[in-house]
Amino acid sequence: MARPPTPGSVVVPNWHESAEGKEYLGCILRKNRRRVFGLLERPVLPPPVAIDTVSYKIFVSGKSGVGKTALVAKLAGLEVPVVHHETTGIQTTMVFWPAKLQASNRVVMFRFEFWDCGESALKKFDHMLPACQEKADAFLFLFSFTDRASFEDLPGQLARVAGEAPGAVRMVIGSKFDQYMHTDVPERDLTAFRQAWELPLLRVKSVPGRRLADGRTLDGRAGLADIAHVLNGLAEQLWYQDQVAAGLLPSPPENTPG
């Protein structure tokens, strides 16, 4: 596994807030809501700006109750379930995200397919874990800031879930960061983890998204602003990984002086 690129070195970090970026984001929104895409659909841009789409499969892993389904719902701009229940089996969610590459100044449409599976279903049914791991381009490891055991479970998860996929991207996400008052995972533990594993680590808040004027529908643009750092982080890691795998970049160690 290549060392991760420095954040912001591959994908232009705040491009989605620029005028150009906002225009591109328009194709994944409809009337200020996030658009849900069926498998036969894709975002449509006006003809002169047709751009390439790259697809990636991402398996979301983590202890039961850390908020895997909630994270995916947030990334897709959907309602986060109010009451927690174990996800019945595997469910996948497609998320489109346009991002601008630093090197070529080119905009690429990322098509992320998130695979989410309930922990007890994983244990009960043998076919589920292999189905999720098969040809996964990235693994998102989730822990919750309010659940110490989920953090301590990470090394085990990393070995168990991504052990056989050395070429895949691995990222760690800490959920429920808004509840830092009750955190069970202090900063020094995170630092130690980061040093030991050298994996990109992101934090997400689990606060309800902003609503539109009707008070009910989720505000698509506000939702995107909340999770842009996760989608950009993923895009960056995946694009970089592809470049390394294709031999387009010098091998990672000498490329990252620190």
Partner 1 sequence: MGEEGARGVVHLLCLAASSGVPLFCRSSRGGVPTRQQLPFSVIGSLNGVHMFGQNLEVQLSSARTEDTTVVWKNFHDSITLIVVSSEESNLELRLERLLQMVFGAMVLLVGLEELTNIRNVERLKKELRASYHLIDSFLGDSELIGDLTQCVDCVVSPEGSLLQETLSGFAEATSTAFVSLVASGRVVAATEGWWRLGMPEAVLLPWLVGSLPPQTARDYPVYLPHGSPTVPHRLLTLMLLPGLELCLLCGPRPPLSQLDAQVLERWWQPLMEPLRACLALGPRALPTGLPLHADILGLLLLHLELRRCLFTVEPSGDKEPAPQHRRRLLRSFYTLVTSTHFPPEPGAPEEKVEDAIQQAQLPRACYLVSGPEEPGAGWRLVALHSGPRRLLLLVSPQSPTHGLWSLATHTLHALTPLL
Binding of partner 1 at residue 85 (CB under 8 A)?
Answer: yes
Which range of residues in 43-51, 130-138, 164-172, 232-240 is near partner 1 by CB under 8 A?
130-138
Q: Which residues inside 88-107 make contact with partner 1, applying CB under 8 A?
A: 88-94
Please state, as a whole number, how many other Cβ atoms lie within 10 Å of the Cβ of residue 127. Answer: 8
Residues present in the chain in total: 258
What is the DSSP code string of 90-113?
EEEEEEEEEEEBTTT--EEEEEEE
Minimum distance from residue 50 beta carbon to partner 1 (Å)? 18
Minimum Å gap between C-beta 196 and partner 1 is 33
Size of the site for partner 1 (CB under 8 A): 33
Q: Which stretch binds partner 1 (CB under 8 A): 120-128, 160-168, 178-186, 210-218?
A: 120-128
Element (H, E) at 170: strand 169-175
Minimum Å gap between C-beta 84 and partner 1 is: 8
**Contacting partner 1 within 28-67 (CB under 8 A):** 36-41, 55
If one asks whether residue 121 binds partner 1 (CB under 8 A), the answer comes out as yes
CB of 59 within 8 A of CB of 132? yes
Among 9, 26, 45, 125, binds partner 1 (CB under 8 A): 125
**Helix (H/G/I), strand (E/B), else coil: 158:** helix
- Distance of closest approach, residue 130 Cβ to partner 1, in angstroms: 9
CB of 5 to partner 1, least distance (A): 28
Give the whole-angstrom CA distance, residue 63 versus residue 78: 22
In DSSP notation, 37-49 reads: --TT------GGG
Using the 8-state DSSP alphabet, how is residue 177 labeled?
A: G
The closest alpha carbon to 58, from 24, 97, 22, belongs to 97
Please report, as ranges, the residues that interact with partner 1 according to CB under 8 A: 36-41, 55, 73, 78-79, 81, 83-94, 113, 120-121, 124-125, 127-128, 131, 134-135
